[in-house]
């Protein structure tokens, strides 16, 4: 169990945040509008927030509703693609650094 936590520490923190964000957006129901939010726009009574729209768009996409995703926020699909590529590259870099550390320690 401790070894798992040691390996998680070696993965880039930013990648963990993006993956966790995707997991949360995939797990919420985009049709349910009364969910917990820390959005300041929502608390000040604004009906529309670009950030909330982007999150809802990504959630629709993860639930297979491409049309509603595009209608909610046009940048939802590009955001998923860009952030997925970013996370993949960060994890790949972390693995490469980890392998270099192992190779250096074996000398």
- What's the total number of domains in the chain? 1
Q: Quote the domain boundaries for residue 48.
A: 42-107
The tens-digit pLDDT sequence of the chain (107 residues) is: 555 556 556 668 888 899 999 999 899 888 876 666 677 777 787 777 777 788 889 999 999 999 999 999 999 999 999 999 999 999 888 888 777 766 665 65
Task: State how far the Cα of 101 lies from the Cα of 107, in Å rounded to an integer.
Answer: 10
- Angle 30-46-53 from CA coordinates, rounded to 5°: 30
Residue 97, in any domain of the structure: yes
Task: State how far the Cα of 92 lies from the Cα of 87, in Å rounded to an integer.
Answer: 8
Residue 29, in any domain of the structure: no
- What token pair was written down for 2? 């401790």
Residue 55, in any domain of the structure: yes
Residue 4, in any domain of the structure: no
Residue 68, in any domain of the structure: yes
Residue that the structure tokens 């997925």 belong to: 84
């Amino acid at each position: 169990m401790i070894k798992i936590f040691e390996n998680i520490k070696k993965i880039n923190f930013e990648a963990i945040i993006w993956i966790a964000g995707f997991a949360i957006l995939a797990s919420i129901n985009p049709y349910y509008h009364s969910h917990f939010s820390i959005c300041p726009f929502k608390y000040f009574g604004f009906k529309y927030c670009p950030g909330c729209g982007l999150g809802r768009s990504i959630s629709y996409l993860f639930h297979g509703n491409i049309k509603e995703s595009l209608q909610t926020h046009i940048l939802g699909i590009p955001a998923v693609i860009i952030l997925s590529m970013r996370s993949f590259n960060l994890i790949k870099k972390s693995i490469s650094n980890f392998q270099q550390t192992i190779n250096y320690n074996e000398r």
